[in-house]
Amino acid sequence: MDITGKTALVTGANRGLGRSFARALLEAGAAKVYAGARDPRSIEDDGVVPIELDVKSPTLISAAARKCSDVDIIINNAGIMLSTSVLDDNSEKVLRRELDVNVFGPLAISKAFAPVLARNGGGVIVNMLSVVSWFVNPLNPTYCVSKRAALAVTDALRIELQAQNTRVIGVYAGIIDTVMGAALSAGPKTSPHQVALKTIEGIRAGVDHVYADDRAETIWKAVRETPEKLEADMKALWLDRRSKNNN
């Protein structure tokens, strides 16, 4: 898709990666970018159109779909990571919160805007996933569960929306240098600007999957070629963390 002159909507656009997505779309020639946030007053960038949007609110989602009837591109960026063990006393509550935002949020946005995109010629839906859509990292397992489910939703949307000429793209990255990424100290961090630019390239190229950094490329290769080693590495990581916490 040629982004020039198109209209986009970005969820969670008030900071971090969402803000970078909004800026990159404008720089790529988008005519209008709706910047969704629970508090639209938190949107500070010039050139975007702030809208009130909470991906957990059916009412606000429906209102956004009515207001943003000219949208061609949806960026499902809003997400949370609570880094909780599946054996934690609170894990069910935590997982439900992550599923609400990371899975049911993008699904609800996609369902609400699919008719809008169809009327406008098809368009693109981008779901911000993660390398942990492919494996479980013991440092944030409930988040991994939600991102695995989000990947399945993304694949299902891609299959079903092809009939209306809507492309659905999954974007994968390692640790991104944002407030969310700050909770994970291990390994290098990717700039949100890079992830946004790689996504723009993917939209233009018409691909289904965007590997936004070296970590994504490396993990995807490991998942396909050496899954047993990857799982062994994660077990070792957990044992090492457990040992340090017990000392």
Rounded mean pLDDT of 213-225?
Answer: 96
Residue 154 in this model has a pLDDT that exceeds 80: yes
Q: How many CB atoms lie within 10 A of CB 68?
A: 21
DSSP annotation of 243 reads H
Residue 185 in this model has a pLDDT that exceeds 80: no
CA distances in angstroms from 57 to 112, 150, 213, listed in the order given: 12, 18, 32
The reported pLDDT for the residue numbered 44 is 86
The reported pLDDT for the residue numbered 148 is 98
- Is the sign of the CA dihedral 95, 97, 102, 106 positive or negative? positive
Let me know if 243 is exposed, middle or buried by CB neighbors in 10 A (0-12, 13-18, 19+).
exposed
Distance CA 24, CA 193 (A): 8
- The answer to the question of residue 14 being in a domain is yes
> Among the listed ranges 181-190, 192-201, 203-212, 218-227, which one has the minimum average pLDDT value?
181-190
Question: Which CATH number covers residue 77?
Answer: 3.40.50.720
User: What is the set of active-site residues?
Assistant: 143, 147
pLDDT per residue as tens digits for the range 120-150: 999 999 999 999 999 999 989 999 999 999 9
- The answer to the question of residue 82 being in a domain is yes
Residue 170 in this model has a pLDDT that exceeds 90: yes
pTM for this prediction? 0.94
Distance CA 74, CA 164 (A): 15
- Is the sign of the CA dihedral 138, 88, 15, 101 positive or negative? positive
Q: Enumerate the β-bridge partners of residue 37.
A: 52
- The answer to the question of residue 215 being in a domain is yes
> Among the listed ranges 110-119, 216-225, 232-241, which one has the minimum average pLDDT value?
232-241
- The answer to the question of residue 109 being in a domain is yes
- The answer to the question of residue 126 being in a domain is yes
Residue 24 in this model has a pLDDT that exceeds 70: yes
DSSP annotation of 1 reads -
The tokens for 68 are 């943003």
- Domain count of the fold of the chain: 1
- The answer to the question of residue 76 being in a domain is yes
Query: In degrees rounded to 5, what are phi and psi of residue 134?
Result: -105, -15
Q: Are 62 and 2 in contact (CB under 8 A)?
A: no
- Residue 33: its H or E element: strand 32-37
Distance CA 63, CA 45 (A): 22
- The answer to the question of residue 170 being in a domain is yes
The tokens for 99 are 């599923």
The confidence band for 186, taking pLDDT boundaries of 50, 70 and 90, is low
Helical H segments across the chain, by residue range: 16-27, 58-67, 91-99, 105-119, 141-161, 192-205, 214-225, 227-246
The reported pLDDT for the residue numbered 178 is 78
Range of the domain at 104: 7-219
pLDDT per residue as tens digits for the range 56-114: 999 999 999 999 999 999 999 999 999 899 999 999 999 999 999 999 999 999 999 99
- The answer to the question of residue 90 being in a domain is yes
The reported pLDDT for the residue numbered 157 is 98
